[in-house]
Structure 1
């Protein structure tokens, strides 16, 4: 058993691990080293903050089923001194749209999702038009709608609630940048910060998000996780769409309500998706050339869109297969990696926190088995094929 765990990264993944560790065993000392305690550049704060079960792989579905159960009870789990946090959870559902070419895949995914307990409704064009009268369905064959368990929330609020609860349970948070990791053979002995402090550890956790590759390199480990910029646009429209889910167009363009406005985005083309692009820049051309035309086609009332605000955040993008890498690397016996969520970190944070804490405390998973997300698949070139990458 580890008596001292040092977690590098205090975003939703690191803070969830800290929370579950201290909630499970108060004899374990937990130190979380977070480079930016304001979370100004944190993926947890800058993402579109949503949760879905509409994946094509069983484990992703199961992780998000646990995630929604946790978010629904968040106030009880993360209460501190009688104050229950709220993350403004809206279970507005996802609506995945399919053209005739994608209809069979959507149907297959739906069968798996419902078999595992997700509340997803498969809809034909007439059913979608009846429920979402504002939707252009002419080029569509079908859609899959999350009747419950899917939606969006306050991502910054979630990371703050996890952090405050972890601290209330005795986890120590240190505001510093990790500059070195001391490795002796197959073990990590110290984590070194920019102020010269050395933090001894029985177990280290790499939960450094978009900076995971840099931290891994300090240990001599090459992890296929890169910081990829994603631009998000907050837009207003005279149109009032009701009901309005988080809609995923077949093109990959998405939008969802945000109060009286909407937020939208999409992934850039592969030839315009370099690593570590500056976050103080926004890809306005992507909005003008791709997002707006797509939205105006899908929702005719969106012809009159106005950008009210925009920002960029990092995806910690696993270029190997777009799924998280969770667990030990065979070369290091006392470091656990929790990296490369590729946009799914907020929704998979609770399941990761629970699973990694079990791995540290028990040497194995005791609830949901996350072992298929281990390093083994990467080292053996066995990518997980997830069809619903957004």
Structure 2
């Protein structure tokens, strides 16, 4: 009898897992329950949709190195009936800037990234000014620039391509809310949906993104993942910046090109970052008080920025250590968690899909070992320290 896998959440994480499961073993029955098939409020569609290798932990770097290869080859990998998906991948690079206070960490991170094969250049303030003449470098000592393998893409296009390929391979998608989970001892047996159906499962995958806690609580699991709102602003400027990358200011404010305009944002302060804020309430004060003054200082030509559009999306924010929790929980023997990506879900989706499918089918990781992201570190209070939190 074929194994039955039920995946809660059909965003990039859930759809990547569904794709890899069916591509690896066509005998596995895969059902994906997605509450919002339009993805109108999904993190996958509303994020800034970017990928970088500039992390400070080896596994995050390795996951994104695999991610960029997957994105580069998406047309062939996710082709359906001769239709090759396009996600408009633009390898414009990340540019992390450092003042004297951050120089040591920047250099340490750069050495690790290079050792793992990431194509990152370390530039002096003078070299930054030569390469990006529009940049104010007065307070800077260095910057790390992704020559290749970093950039941005169409996040909505990625999730649709994964979903369509998973469906073409035989995965079933159900538009419904999960309203209950039935367990027999330490095993999940059925998932109850608002459409009135009761789905039997041998393995449950929690890939519910910003709604992760709700699903986890149905199994009596307390997961340190919360929905945190992030506002994004699409801005125009008379300035036309040459070679503009995705720039990360030392303050945490970022911007990148978006056609002839730019998108920008930053994380709010910890005392102004509550859970589950309404997505239709964009934090305009954050732009007026933090983002715009920072951009006008860093890029003097941005003095005349104008907001053209703005929106908000959810981070599934892991308050424990800002990294994903991937794997089985010791209290529920047949539920795999893939949650808490804290803004890295799109770029880590391919590596997660491959890894979780291996864990389900083979009982272990057979390509990239994701075990350091397991529940063990959370339960034993061993946080992964990521120095490049954006």
User: What is the TM-score normalised by the length of structure 2?
Assistant: 1.00
2:126 corresponds in structure 1 to 126
CA distance in 1, matches of 2:80, 2:313: 29
Q: SS state of the match for residue 332, structure 2? A: coil
1:57 corresponds in structure 2 to 57
CA distance in 2, matches of 1:348, 1:389: 15
Q: SS state of the match for residue 301, structure 1? A: helix
1:294 corresponds in structure 2 to 294
Q: What's the CA shift string for 1:265-322, capped at 9, x where partnerless? A: 0000111100000001100000000000000000000000000000000000000000
Matches within 5 A, 1:289-368: 289-368=289-368
User: How much has 1:195 moved relative to structure 2?
Assistant: 2.1
User: How much has 1:202 moved relative to structure 2?
Assistant: 0.3
Q: SS state of the match for residue 211, structure 1? A: helix
CA contact under 8 A between 1:355 and 1:367: conserved in structure 2? yes
Superposed structure 1 runs of 4+ greater than 3 Å apart: none
User: How much has 1:2 moved relative to structure 2?
Assistant: 6.7
Q: SS state of the match for residue 264, structure 2? A: strand
2:166 corresponds in structure 1 to 166
Q: Structure 1 residue 46 and structure 2 residue 46: aligned?
A: yes
CA contact under 8 A between 1:328 and 1:336: conserved in structure 2? yes
Q: SS state of the match for residue 321, structure 1? A: coil
CA distance in 1, matches of 2:294, 2:97: 13
Q: Structure 1 residue 76 and structure 2 residue 76: aligned?
A: yes
CA distance in 1, matches of 2:301, 2:191: 54
User: How much has 1:184 moved relative to structure 2?
Assistant: 1.2
Q: Structure 1 residue 3 and structure 2 residue 30: aligned?
A: no
Structure 2 unaligned blocks of 5 or more: none
Q: SS state of the match for residue 44, structure 2? A: helix
2:259 corresponds in structure 1 to 259
Matches within 5 A, 1:129-208: 129-208=129-208
CA contact under 8 A between 2:2 and 2:27: conserved in structure 1? no
Question: Structure 1 residues 2 and 67, CA, compared in 2 at 3 Å: closer, same or farther?
Answer: farther
User: How much has 1:196 moved relative to structure 2?
Assistant: 1.9
2:273 corresponds in structure 1 to 273
CA contact under 8 A between 1:178 and 1:193: conserved in structure 2? yes
Q: SS state of the match for residue 349, structure 1? A: helix
Q: What's the CA shift string for 1:11-55, capped at 9, x where partnerless? A: 000000000000000000000000000000000000000000000
Matches within 5 A, 1:242-253: 242-253=242-253
Question: Structure 1 residues 292 and 196, CA, compared in 2 at 3 Å: closer, same or farther?
Answer: same
Q: SS state of the match for residue 148, structure 2? A: coil
CA distance in 2, matches of 1:151, 1:99: 23
Q: SS state of the match for residue 334, structure 1? A: strand
User: How much has 1:92 moved relative to structure 2?
Assistant: 0.1
CA contact under 8 A between 1:253 and 1:266: conserved in structure 2? yes
User: How much has 1:153 moved relative to structure 2?
Assistant: 0.1
Q: What's the CA shift string for 1:191-240, capped at 9, x where partnerless? A: 00112210000000000000001100000000000000000000000000
Question: Structure 1 residues 135 and 201, CA, compared in 2 at 3 Å: closer, same or farther?
Answer: same
User: What is the TM-score normalised by the length of structure 1?
Assistant: 1.00
Q: Structure 1 residue 380 and structure 2 residue 380: aligned?
A: yes
Q: SS state of the match for residue 136, structure 2? A: coil
Q: SS state of the match for residue 233, structure 2? A: strand
Q: What's the CA shift string for 1:39-81, capped at 9, x where partnerless? A: 0000000000000000000000000000000000000000000
1:28 corresponds in structure 2 to 28
